[in-house]
Structure 1
Amino acid sequence: MQKILIPTDFSENAWNAIDYAMQLFRDKSCTFYLLNTYTPVIPSSRFMAKMVDGVRIVDAVRDSSELGLQKTVSQIKSKYRNPKHSFETISSFNLLVEEVKDIVDSFGINLVVTGTKGASGIDEVFMGSNTVRIIKNAKKCPVLAIPQSFEYVTPSEIAFATDFNRFYTVSELSPLLEMAKMFNATIRIVHVQYGIKALSELQQFNLNMLRRYLGEVEHYVHTVSELHSVSQTLEMFSKELDIHLLALLNYQHSYMEKMTREPIIKRTAFHTQIPLLVIPELGMEGISVEVEEEEQEQATSE
């Protein structure tokens, strides 16, 4: 993970995500791309002001965005002084999710780190609407969501929630493996069941393959009964085992999709109390990449 994108709106919530990322990757050489998007109201009437004290509104908002990014970089460098970290700033007149997608593609971003903040009322989404939109649209890059009140803890206990109904590729698991190896962490594979029952042949096969991929990384399998909802079950599991990071793969019918579709009343208690690593589905694309890498390795060894 060498190229890391961090969207910021200069709030405390956004700074907490930056703070977490600086500590998480303190021993890694990284380039951090700090992004701020702005969409000023475009005057649609001759009665609406296009100028304020002779300054165009769009220009003023852009200048404020660029200045905010410069101040944020200065604040980071002043606090951490890490020679392994370099910074790029991107100020863009665009919608946040669209700009994140463009930057991931253009710069080959390895990870998006974002702060989470639950909204209120009927708009409540268990991580905040922007975070959920980024996760849903991140097709090529994992997203690490940091709760607004979470204080950094070295992730020595990582939970990976799965129902074993899907075959995972090595490419999809690589962010999880990389994180575990970086901190010599234990991986807790957690399977939420509505009524405990034996695994099917397919589930058992996928579990065996998962354990094979994890290799020498210390790992355990936990099967737990669903409590009201998947989100509350995972929250209780994380609290009881003192989990520092929860990882999920995002695909159709996955736990991640189930949680974003749960009725609001069921997920109000789950505001990602711990950091959440959401890994996108790579599918056949990931498999083709792995085959290509294996062929290259064989050619090199020959």
Structure 2
Amino acid sequence: MSMRHHILIPTDFSENAWSAALYALKLYAEKPCTFYFLHAWTFSSGSRTYVSPSYIDILQDKSKAHLAEVKELAISESTNSEHKFEILFRLDPLLDAIKNVIEEHHIDQIIMGTKGATGAKEFLLGSNTVSVIDKVRLCPLLLVPSNFAYVTPNQIGFPTDFNRGYGDELQPIKNLADIHNSRIKVLHINSKEHLTETQNANMDFLKTNLKDYQHSFNWVPDKGKKEHAIESFIEENNINILTMINYEHGIIEDFIKEPVIKRLGYHSDIPFFVVPHTN
């Protein structure tokens, strides 16, 4: 009896959000899952004119109807009778809604699209996505690029610098590898000739921890920007999902803190799995 996965899919009814839903259905095609479609609704009138409550009711009903349609579409796309679908309509800002739903429904993963409906060209990741990566540290997050055609993730890339000890955050990466018996390709971008004692100890721990998984350790010299090294690694190794641990003050935070999130461009090609660091 395999465990049931509880997966949260926030939706703004964009093509992009639907891409992420399709990816989730295919990724978990063989697994018992409950998928929760969440729409967080906040009214913004833009101007200060009076808006009648009945008009707001109409808008809310429209959103609820869209949510029901998404569920029906998902049911028709799913190939597994062990897939269940729930819809959640919340009158909260997105981040609050996500946090509450994670706790109420014991969500173990969020899957969402990387571009919002606004399609602001300057953000490869919509501002919503960025705040979710930044603020939601309760469970892993899988970001799916828009119009990404599903590929079985045979190769999972895992860049790490061995500078910090590993704890529970390795488990979601292993769970991801378990779904399709994927190989975990650890990538280390080495800026110095030798690892420190701490790095060696952490690397040994990681090797031991991954011993039951197909895995390899890959060394790439540091020749400039880390994201270029990661990008080449993805291409040369046919990586299907890139996974990273989101430490306080780590590489992901550096990417997110850029004034315009151009540097996340290299993730726009394949899904990106962000695991929060657990203290």
Q: Compute the TM-score of the two structures, normalised by the length of structure 2.
A: 0.91
Which consecutive residues of structure 2, in runs of 5 or more, have no partner in the other structure?
none
SS of the residue 1:56 aligns to: helix
Deviation at 1:258?
2.3
Aligned residues of 1:43 and 1:49 also touching (Cα < 8 A): no
Instruction: Calculate the aligned-residue CA RMSD, in Å.
Output: 2.1
> Paired residue for 1:189, among 186, 204, 216?
186
Q: Classify 1:44/1:186 alpha carbon distance in 2 versus 1 (closer, same or farther; 3 Å).
A: closer
* Structure 1 match to 2:68: 70
Q: Give deviations 1:22-62, integer Å, cap 9, x for gaps.
A: 000011111111001111135985xx2423xxx72221121
SS of the residue 2:73 aligns to: helix
Matched AA of 2:219: T
* Structure 1 match to 2:174: 177
> Paired residue for 1:87, among 80, 85, 88?
85
Establish whether residue 9 from structure 1 lines up as the match of residue 12 from structure 2: yes
Q: Give deviations 1:146-172, integer Å, cap 9, x for gaps.
A: 011311111110011111111011x21
* Structure 2 match to 1:254: 250
Aligned residues of 2:255 and 2:261 also touching (Cα < 8 A): no
For residues 89 and 142 of structure 1, what CA distance do their matches in structure 2 show?
A: 20
> Paired residue for 1:238, among 230, 234, 238?
234
Aligned residues of 1:232 and 1:269 also touching (Cα < 8 A): no
Q: Compute the TM-score of the two structures, normalised by the length of structure 1.
A: 0.84
* Structure 2 match to 1:296: none
Q: Give deviations 1:213-258, integer Å, cap 9, x for gaps.
A: 1122111111223454222321221011110011100012322122
SS of the residue 1:270 aligns to: helix
Q: Give deviations 1:181-227, integer Å, cap 9, x for gaps.
A: 2211111101123x342111100100100111112211111122345
Aligned residues of 2:115 and 2:126 also touching (Cα < 8 A): yes
Q: Classify 1:84/1:236 alpha carbon distance in 2 versus 1 (closer, same or farther; 3 Å).
A: same
For residues 23 and 115 of structure 1, what CA distance do their matches in structure 2 show?
A: 15
For residues 107 and 243 of structure 1, what CA distance do their matches in structure 2 show?
A: 32
Aligned residues of 2:75 and 2:85 also touching (Cα < 8 A): no
Deviation at 1:92?
1.2
SS of the residue 1:89 aligns to: strand
Matched AA of 2:169: E
Q: How does 1:120-269 map to 2 (within 5 A)?
A: 120=120, 124-169=122-167, 171-193=168-190, 195-262=191-258, 264=260, 267=263, 269=265
Establish whether residue 50 from structure 1 lines up as the match of residue 51 from structure 2: yes
Aligned residues of 2:28 and 2:179 also touching (Cα < 8 A): no
For residues 223 and 126 of structure 2, what CA distance do their matches in structure 1 show?
A: 23
Give me the identity figure in percent.
36
For residues 275 and 58 of structure 1, what CA distance do their matches in structure 2 show?
A: 36
* Structure 1 match to 2:44: 41
Matched AA of 1:109: I
Aligned length: 274
Which consecutive residues of structure 1, in runs of 5 or more, have no partner in the other structure?
284-302
For the pair shown, which has the larger CA radius of gyration, 1 or 2?
A: 1
> Paired residue for 2:24, among 14, 21, 26?
21
Matched AA of 2:263: R
> Paired residue for 1:114, among 112, 115, 123?
112
* Higher helix fraction (1 or 2): 1
For residues 265 and 49 of structure 1, what CA distance do their matches in structure 2 show?
A: 36
Aligned residues of 2:169 and 2:275 also touching (Cα < 8 A): yes
Q: Classify 1:125/1:166 alpha carbon distance in 2 versus 1 (closer, same or farther; 3 Å).
A: farther
Establish whether residue 276 from structure 1 lines up as the match of residue 272 from structure 2: yes
Matched AA of 2:25: M
Aligned residues of 1:228 and 1:266 also touching (Cα < 8 A): no
Q: Give deviations 1:261-291, integer Å, cap 9, x for gaps.
A: 34648616424311111001111xxxxxxxx
For residues 266 and 215 of structure 1, what CA distance do their matches in structure 2 show?
A: 36
For residues 35 and 265 of structure 1, what CA distance do their matches in structure 2 show?
A: 25
